[in-house]
Structure 1
Amino acid sequence: MATDTLKSNAPATRPTIFEWFLPVPAMCFAGLLVTDIVYWRTADMMWADFSAWLVTAGVIMGLLVFLAGLIDWASGGWRAARRPAWPGVIGYMLVFIVSVFNALIHSRDGWTSVVPTGLILSASAVLLLLVTAAVDRARPRAGS
């Protein structure tokens, strides 16, 4: 009995390391916006502490995402895409830069650690993240 093997010319799509790690800092920055808003409304210092921890965790995980992106780029994971990934890379880097400045603002004590600058930076980071994710999602992937 002869067996025929099916071969596909479409490249195999697999999630990159970058895509595995990206949701972690994104959730930290989204949670940061929530805790900043709650602190602004309640002035309970516990929420400012939560914000400081979330922005720190988000920046640290953002560094890991950056390293994962470098690994993906070096291994050719992004070459399979039909369009360049640079709009997403630039957008995520802007989110990271805004968040580093936000971490410096959140290192202050008391009310000024969040209101108004920290809250504005948190909202800006989340807005940039949403726009970048939409642009990155609209980019056709290999095999689609």
Structure 2
Amino acid sequence: MNTNVLSRRGSLATVIYELLNPIPYGFFIAALVFDIIYVYSTNVMWEKSASWLITLGLISAIIPRLINLFQVWVGHAWPQLSAVKIAFWLNVVAIIAAIFNAFVHSRDAYAVAPQNLIYSVITVACLLIAALLMSCSQTYSTGDRHE
């Protein structure tokens, strides 16, 4: 039979992961945009809005990261490619940078720059590299390369 069939629990976890995984990306990219606007405008509203976006991004990243933790390190149905593990660690680095960014944003409004921008860039860069790595590894492993 087909050896790639996932169990019901595994497929449910995969569906939940695929649904919730993109949400933190939107929050963190919007926070980066707001941090850039704040650096150029010094309007406190942009800093406070970025702070809320980072907090929401961290909260929404909890469930997908826990599912990904079990898929990469515990799950037997998930492929144990090095690209999957590297993408996992890049996501961990992005979350750690976002936590540091949340602490930076807890300061007075005029004391956050330029560290807020640096941590936002690190967070978004790690997430984008992880997404590109996963996209390239899935395309390569399924043979769906377009030339």
TM-score normalised by length of structure 2: 0.78
2:24 partner amino acid: P
Q: Counterpart of 2:130?
A: 132
Deviation per residue, 1:29-50 (Å, 9 max, x gap): 1000000011111111111111
> Which is bigger in relative contact order (C-alpha 8 A, separation at least 6)?
1
Q: Counterpart of 2:145?
A: none
Q: Does 1:11 align with 2:4?
A: yes
For residue 136 of structure 1, give the secondary structure of its aligned residue in structure 2. Answer: helix
Q: How does 1:1-144 map to 2 (within 5 A)?
A: 9=2, 11-12=4-5, 16=14, 17-72=16-71, 74=74, 76-78=76-78, 81=79, 83-84=81-82, 85-113=84-112, 115-140=113-138, 144=142
> For this pair of structures, how many residues does the alignment match?
133
1:31 partner amino acid: A
For the pair shown, the structure with the greater C-alpha radius of gyration is: 1
Note the C-alpha offset of 1:108: 0.8
Q: Answer whether contact 1:36 1:51 (CA < 8 A) is retained.
A: yes
Q: Counterpart of 1:3?
A: none
Structure number with higher helix proportion? 2
Deviation per residue, 1:55-90 (Å, 9 max, x gap): 101111122222222454555452xx3724211111
* In 1, Cα distance between equivalents of 2:56 and 2:106: 13
2:114 partner amino acid: P
2:137 partner amino acid: R
* In 1, Cα distance between equivalents of 2:3 and 2:77: 15
Give the root-mean-square deviation of aligned CA atoms: 2.4
Note the C-alpha offset of 1:19: 2.5
TM-score normalised by length of structure 1: 0.79
Alignment gaps of 5+ in structure 2: 143-147
Give the % identical residues. 29
